[in-house]
């Protein structure tokens, strides 16, 4: 396989969300939050998880799935000390497992030098697509759309007095969008056990796509 054979699958945001919903249903994890992604990795997919010392400090890498799709390596500090990041890293790597298995197994470097040359030759755009797909899958699996709508709408109601105040000043709700998203994201951290950043991005994207509304 040459670098030019690496083609990221074409997946829309909605395709990824659909696959994430199916994935949770297949693994019977669509009802209990936070989603137990570690159990899915080990019990359902049979993957091994290995703490990799200084992975992030040395290489700026939080985690990766091995070329034989057998092990998810996670930075040791994240593994022990950052449970939310740990969960997200597992979900992200499972995203590669779900969408990119064919690509990964068809990649057969003959040596470390061969592998290195290959990785360096993958164009940034393709690499970016692969990463975006895995990231979006992780967010969709850990923050499922149906439950997010429910929690978001409830939290939005609790912010109603503040929203009314914003309106009374002649401002649109949209003008306080970032404040509202951040306020709600902060409230939902404990429910989904992901970072505020992941929730902020997830909510923003769902608003952009019209699955959530500030009105």
Partner 1 sequence: MSDLFGEYFKKKRLEMRKTLRQFCLENGLDPGNISKIERGILPPPQSGEKLAHYAKCLGIVEGSDEWLEFFDIARTDAGRIPEDLLADRNIVAKLPLVFRTLKGQKLTGEQLEKFARALEKLNEPE
Closest among 147, 48, 139, 43 to 92, alpha carbons compared: 139
**Torsion of the alpha carbons at 186, 139, 124 and 116, rounded to the nearest 10:** 110
Does 58 bind partner 1 (CB under 8 A)? Our answer is yes
Distance in Å, CB of 176 to partner 1, minimum: 29
Tokens describing residue 87: 């969960």
Determine the Cα angle at 197 with ends 180 and 145, to 5°: 75
Does 82 bind partner 1 (CB under 8 A)? Our answer is no
113-152 footprint of partner 1 as x/- string (CB under 8 A): -xxx--xx-x-x--xx-xx--x------------------
**If DSSP codes are grouped into helix, strand and coil, which group holds residue 196?**
helix
Does 160 bind partner 1 (CB under 8 A)? Our answer is no
Distance in Å, CB of 20 to partner 1, minimum: 17
Which CB atom, from 72 or from 143, has the smaller least distance to partner 1?
Answer: 72
17-46 footprint of partner 1 as x/- string (CB under 8 A): ---------------------xx--xx---
CA distance 47 to 27: 14
Sign of the alpha-carbon torsion through 190, 26, 44, 73: negative
Q: Are the C-beta atoms of 201 and 139 separated by less than 8 Å? A: yes
Does 200 bind partner 1 (CB under 8 A)? Our answer is no
**Torsion of the alpha carbons at 66, 67, 69 and 72, rounded to the nearest 10:** 10
Does 73 bind partner 1 (CB under 8 A)? Our answer is yes
Q: Given the rule CB under 8 A, which of 15-23, 47-55, 175-183, 192-200 is the region that contacts partner 1?
A: 47-55
Q: Which residues lie near partner 1 (CB under 8 A)? A: 6, 38-39, 42-43, 48-52, 56, 58-68, 70-71, 73, 79, 89, 92-93, 96, 100, 103-104, 107, 109-112, 114-116, 119-120, 122, 124, 127-128, 130-131, 134
């Amino acid at each position: 396989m040459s670098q030019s054979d690496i083609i990221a699958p074409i997946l829309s945001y909605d395709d990824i969300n659909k696959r994430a919903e199916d994935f949770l249903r297949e693994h019977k994890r669509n009802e209990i939050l936070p989603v137990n992604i570690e159990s899915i990795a080990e019990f359902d997919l049979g993957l091994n998880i290995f703490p990799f010392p200084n992975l992030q400090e040395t290489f700026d890498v939080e985690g990766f799935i091995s070329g034989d799709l057998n092990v998810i390596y996670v930075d040791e500090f994240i593994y022990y000390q950052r449970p939310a990041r740990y969960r997200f890293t597992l979900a992200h790597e499972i995203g590669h497992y779900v969408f990119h298995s064919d690509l990964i197994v068809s990649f057969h470097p003959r040596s470390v030098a061969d592998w290195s040359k290959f990785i360096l030759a993958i164009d940034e755009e393709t690499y970016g697509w692969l990463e975006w797909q895995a990231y979006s899958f992780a967010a969709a699996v850990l923050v499922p759309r149906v439950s997010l709508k429910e929690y978001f709408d409830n939290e939005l109601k609790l912010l109603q007095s503040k929203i009314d105040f914003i309106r009374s000043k002649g401002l649109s709700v949209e003008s306080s969008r970032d404040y509202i998203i951040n306020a709600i994201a902060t409230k939902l951290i404990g429910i989904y056990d992901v970072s505020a950043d992941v929730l902020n991005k997830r909510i923003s994207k769902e608003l952009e796509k019209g699955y959530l509304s500030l009105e």
